[in-house]
């Protein structure tokens, strides 16, 4: 029944029914087993960066730029701490920055639920569903740099790292491995002191690797400067095939985490761990044996 409902909602969403599209995303988000959806022409962009770097405002500007060019842009904003299922802060930010977002923009906040690292394992089928429904630009916004951003970055074809004028933020990105994976780096708030120096520091870091030609762009989402150049750089960025192994690894780990946390005995096992009646090894063996028996 679940897959039949998803297929029905997908057909309605393809015809332009936005309510069915919202319900489709909800069904995928709450599904026990991810639907087998695949779009040949999917286009995805992961956007990450430290809190306060202006990711949401910058995404809003990029969304309006692409929308004005006739692209249909969908944004999935990851919310690791809230059970909210509708568009929240990012949707409000886009409205504040660009007025009525119109029919060419779809914004949805995605709660992580039990997913480790704030990443829903349903993001990938959601992206394919959106692509099948005609959304030509799919943007995934993460919550900040760290392991969770590494995971979602691995699930996007292109990765934009947004930094602010504070050099300390980009150092954290380097430690997390995000700088290494990013296809494009944007230093936002170029209207503030220190932004040019931050951009140059990043370029210096990239120069340490032979053949690293990635762009570091100065932008100001607040003033709207550098947006067209950034959008052009993103559009001309080819999917990084060198990340295929990382993508498959992270998809496997994400799905494995989901299976573990949805195990019917997980709460009881955690309770026993808390009262020290079993060890971690005992817990793993118990869950493994139960899974093999179909428990």
- Segment holding 221, helix H or strand E: none
Q: What is the mean pLDDT of residues 152-178?
A: 69
**Domain architecture of the chain: domains with CATH:** 38-241 (3.40.50.300), 251-292 (no CATH)
Amino acid 151: pLDDT: 67
Report d(CA 246, CA 65) in Å as an integer. Answer: 31
Amino acid 118: pLDDT: 53
pLDDT tens-digit readout, 172-208: 555 456 677 788 999 999 988 888 888 888 888 888 7
Whole-structure pTM value: 0.81
- Selection from 48, 232, 209, 225 nearest residue 144 by Cα: 48
* pLDDT of residue 1 exceeding 90: no
Can you name the residues that pair with 137 across neighbouring β-strands? 73
Report d(CA 172, CA 178) in Å as an integer. Answer: 9
* pLDDT of residue 273 exceeding 70: yes
Q: What is the mean pLDDT of residues 199-226?
A: 87
pLDDT tens-digit readout, 54-79: 899 999 999 999 999 999 999 998 87
pLDDT tens-digit readout, 85-104: 444 444 444 443 444 567 89
Amino acid 113: pLDDT: 55
- Selection from 234, 284, 193 nearest residue 65 by Cα: 234
Report d(CA 11, CA 3) in Å as an integer. Answer: 12
* pLDDT of residue 286 exceeding 80: yes
């Amino acid at each position: 029944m679940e897959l039949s409902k998803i297929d029905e909602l997908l057909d309605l969403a393809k015809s332009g029914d936005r309510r069915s599209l919202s319900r489709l995303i909800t069904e995928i988000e709450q599904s026990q087993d991810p639907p087998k959806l695949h779009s040949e022409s999917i286009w995805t962009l992961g956007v990450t960066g430290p809190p306060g770097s202006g990711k949401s405002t910058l995404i809003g500007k990029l969304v309006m730029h692409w929308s004005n060019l006739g692209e249909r842009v969908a944004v999935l904003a990851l919310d690791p701490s809230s059970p909210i299922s509708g568009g929240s802060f990012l949707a409000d930010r886009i409205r504040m920055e660009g007025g009525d977002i119109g029919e060419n923009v779809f914004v949805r906040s995605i709660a992580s639920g039990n997913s480790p690292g704030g990443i829903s394992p349903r993001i990938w089928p959601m992206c394919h569903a959106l692509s099948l429904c005609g959304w030509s630009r799919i943007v995934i916004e993460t919550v900040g740099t760290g392991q969770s951003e590494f995971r979602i970055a691995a699930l996007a074809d292109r990765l934009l790292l947004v930094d602010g004028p504070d050099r300390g933020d980009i150092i954290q990105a380097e430690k997390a491995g995000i700088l290494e994976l990013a296809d494009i780096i944007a230093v936002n708030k170029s209207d503030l002191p220190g932004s040019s120096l931050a951009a140059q520091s990043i370029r210096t870091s990239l120069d340490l690797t032979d053949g690293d030609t990635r762009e570091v762009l100065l932008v100001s989402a607040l003033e709207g400067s550098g947006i067209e150049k950034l959008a052009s750089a993103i559009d001309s960025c080819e999917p990084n095939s060198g990340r295929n192994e990382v993508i498959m690894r992270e998809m496997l780990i994400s799905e494995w985490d989901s299976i573990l946390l949805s195990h019917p005995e997980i709460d009881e096992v955690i309770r026993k761990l808390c009262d020290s009646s079993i060890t971690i090894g005992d817990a793993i063996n118990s869950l493994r044996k139960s899974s093999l028996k179909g428990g």
